[in-house]
Copies of this chain bind each other. A is one copy, B any other.
């Protein structure tokens, strides 16, 4: 397997055929991204274009997250893209973590700026500054705000969705009266992310706390959800940070408490990006292309009429069917002048969960054929002839079944590739060979983590308590936590 670390090309490569997924995940992944028209490479190094079908996936994810943010009391807002350098440098750990990957604006129109402006790599700085202005009293708390924005991190290597200089995400930023409230917020949002990952995107995840070395720059605690990719590498799918009073101190977010005493607020931040779409592609896809869980599908059902000579029976029926289904499902009629086989390949590649084939012979029997994308070609259950009168309830059931099946397959893969090594040697071997999620009692010491990384390229993904054994499987010191360890994206 080649690595996914090629430099981006100026032009999107033309993909003639998608290679087998098992042969080379990286090649398969990029081929699917381009051929399914999810993304194009752009003339800007490391930046991709999110094409309409890819953006359709993003709109689905946005909608599912946004309704949950609002249901938990959050509101959307918009903060400036640019951050003056003098502000940016106020939180020492934060700037140390992010400065190396910031893009700087130094000229505006024809004027050279007296102070550089950072393009936001994340917005704690500018939002913290505004919260300081908005918060005076405990009555002004909590502030529960989210924004949907582009951010930029000047990365060396890029790959569609997983790592690009510019990406789309949401970042929630909240300020609270007490540490307990901030901690509850961070836990709540991690749960929201896990729910969306599992119930909507169909990807099982492990929740836990990040080790010190993997923590967000400036946070007291970072929590994550981690998914497992088919190549045995973990993917961090979202993070939720307890920022303590660090940013409140750096940006003067103070308030008069119930006891009249001036004190610093407790802040949090949490984010999920379009990276989640990369996980969706890798976890569910197969040799034909994408397989999109119905809840994420821009198109849930595609109708393909099979014309018989000059007769318009099939196409007329297909049009009526589309009109009938449109109120309940995201449905598309493919009435292009193309051979059916080409249409099937087109929609298989794009991962549409359910295809309805309308043929004249079937229609004569009062039937149409449903084809499930989650079943491999020629497997039992993939195609079902359904009475026209049963069509809507059958679609409804099948979409539920497809959603459940894709999740179950991903769940089984994760279970089959989560190991509790019995010995140090087994741990090291499995970490090196990228076997999956290694679940070990761990010491939680930075030098141990550095040694693991040096020896195996793996790192701790996240931690939970208590440890399942008395000693660290990596170094033999007393175990303090239970850790998932894996190589990662």
| Chain A residues packing against B (C-beta within 8 Å) | 11-12, 40, 42-44, 47-52, 54-56, 58-59, 75-84, 87, 100-111, 116-117, 119, 126, 129-130, 133-134, 145, 149-150, 152, 154, 165-166, 168
Q: A12-B133, A42-B126, A44-B83 are in contact. Are A77 and B103 (CB under 8 A)?
A: no
Contact A80 B42 (CB under 8 A): yes
CA A116 to CA B47, docked complex, whole Å: 15
- One of B44, B81, B102 near A150 (C-beta < 8 A): B81
Min Cβ gap A32→B in Å is: 18
A108 contact set on B, CB distance < 8 A:
102-104, 154, 165
- One of B48, B49, B126 near A44 (C-beta < 8 A): B126
CA A131 to CA B87, docked complex, whole Å: 39
- One of B50, B101, B105 near A78 (C-beta < 8 A): B50
- One of B11, B54, B80 near A166 (C-beta < 8 A): B80
Contact B75 A43 (CB under 8 A): no
Contact A130 B52 (CB under 8 A): no
A58 contact set on B, CB distance < 8 A:
78
Seed contacts A100-B110, A101-B109; 7 additional CB < 8 Å A-B pairs? A11-B133, A40-B134, A43-B129, A44-B80, A55-B77, A82-B103, A104-B107
A133 contact set on B, CB distance < 8 A:
11-12, 40
Min Cβ gap A105→B in Å is: 5
Min Cβ gap A290→B in Å is: 17
Q: A101-B109, A102-B109, A154-B109 are in contact. Are A44 and B117 (CB under 8 A)?
A: yes
Contact A43 B87 (CB under 8 A): yes
CA A453 to CA B129, docked complex, whole Å: 42
Min Cβ gap A35→B in Å is: 13
A82 contact set on B, CB distance < 8 A:
44, 47, 103, 166
Min Cβ gap A49→B in Å is: 5
CA A82 to CA B154, docked complex, whole Å: 12
Contact B81 A166 (CB under 8 A): yes
Q: A104-B108, A105-B103, A106-B107 are in contact. Are A49 and B130 (CB under 8 A)?
A: yes
- Could you list 27 examples of A-B contacts with CB < 8 Å? A11-B133, A40-B134, A42-B126, A43-B129, A44-B80, A44-B126, A47-B81, A48-B80, A49-B78, A49-B79, A49-B80, A50-B77, A52-B145, A54-B77, A55-B76, A55-B77, A58-B78, A59-B76, A100-B109, A100-B110, A102-B108, A103-B107, A106-B107, A111-B154, A119-B119, A149-B150, A150-B150
Min Cβ gap A39→B in Å is: 10
Min Cβ gap A457→B in Å is: 24
Contact B52 A76 (CB under 8 A): yes
Q: Which residue of B lies closest to A151 (CB)?
A: B81
CA A303 to CA B446, docked complex, whole Å: 55
Which of A12, A49, A84, A133 has the most C-beta atoms of chain B within 10 angstroms of its own C-beta?
Answer: A49
CA A98 to CA B23, docked complex, whole Å: 49
Which of A75, A83, A149 has the most C-beta atoms of chain B within 10 angstroms of its own C-beta?
Answer: A75
A166 contact set on B, CB distance < 8 A:
80-82
CA A61 to CA B312, docked complex, whole Å: 41
CA A235 to CA B87, docked complex, whole Å: 35
